[in-house]
Amino acid sequence: MAKADMEQFIKSQLLKADLIEIDRQLSVTGINDMTSMLLLKQAFITVSNLVDFEITIRSIYREHEKLSSEYKSSSKNYEFAKYLRNKYIGHIKQELIQKSIEWKPELRYSLKRIDEPGMMFIFNLFILETAINTYVNDDGSHKIFESETDLKYPPDLKRFLIYLSSTVRSAISYLSNLANAFGERVEMLDASEQKIEHWIAAGETRFEFIKK
């Protein structure tokens, strides 16, 4: 068993657990307030982490080819989630704010009300909508959806929610299968099988700043 196998097993389970809880809560509440908006943002962050993670574990596809196919079948959706994370969540791009003000003039006329309950949800919704609409090819055609998105328009909102749900659930499925693949390589100990060398190593631990 390689040490990395256990690390990858744990990481895949961490990502999966986040997505399971996000899916559970959003399935109950929908996206209608700041709490659900934060869950939505966390979904994009977690899927983006999956994209970065997948690059590092591709060697396992030699033994589990179906995992590669499963990932590829949803990779476009995952890349879109990463784009939204990079432009709207992990970094709030100034260009995105500028385009949002242009696209949604309502924002100009809501600044005095920005501290009212629920108003920042509207601001977030419009900025998210703008980010979605900037995901285009060089010719201006949309990469994921077939037209511009207006999240206040029920059919467009439904279309986006279907994308979100299918993306999160496909990621959960992939991570479950990935964890199973790594789990086959990991020695699963229980409390009755404690080994003294593990506790000795714990006692010798020296913490250092994580640079990367």
Summarize pLDDT for 184-201 with one digit per residue, the tens: 988 888 888 788 888 888
Would 84 be classed as within a structural domain? Answer: yes
Would 194 be classed as within a structural domain? Answer: no
Would 195 be classed as within a structural domain? Answer: no
H and E: helices and strands count for the chain: 7, 0
Would 49 be classed as within a structural domain? Answer: yes
Would 199 be classed as within a structural domain? Answer: no
Would 73 be classed as within a structural domain? Answer: yes
The model's pTM = 0.92
Q: How far separated are the first and last CA of the chain, in Å rounded?
A: 25
Would 197 be classed as within a structural domain? Answer: no
Q: What is the C-alpha to C-alpha distance for residues 62 and 49, in angstroms, rounded to an integer?
A: 22
| Number of compact structural domains in the chain | 1
Is residue 36 within 8 A of residue 104, CB to CB? The reply is no
Report the chain (212 residues): mean pLDDT per 10 consecutive residues.
83 98 95 96 98 96 96 97 96 96 96 92 96 94 94 95 97 97 89 84 89 80
Q: Residue 2's pLDDT is what?
A: 65
Would 192 be classed as within a structural domain? Answer: no
Is residue 173 within 8 A of residue 69, CB to CB? The reply is no
Is residue 43 within 8 A of residue 164, CB to CB? The reply is yes
What range defines the domain where residue 43 resides? 3-186
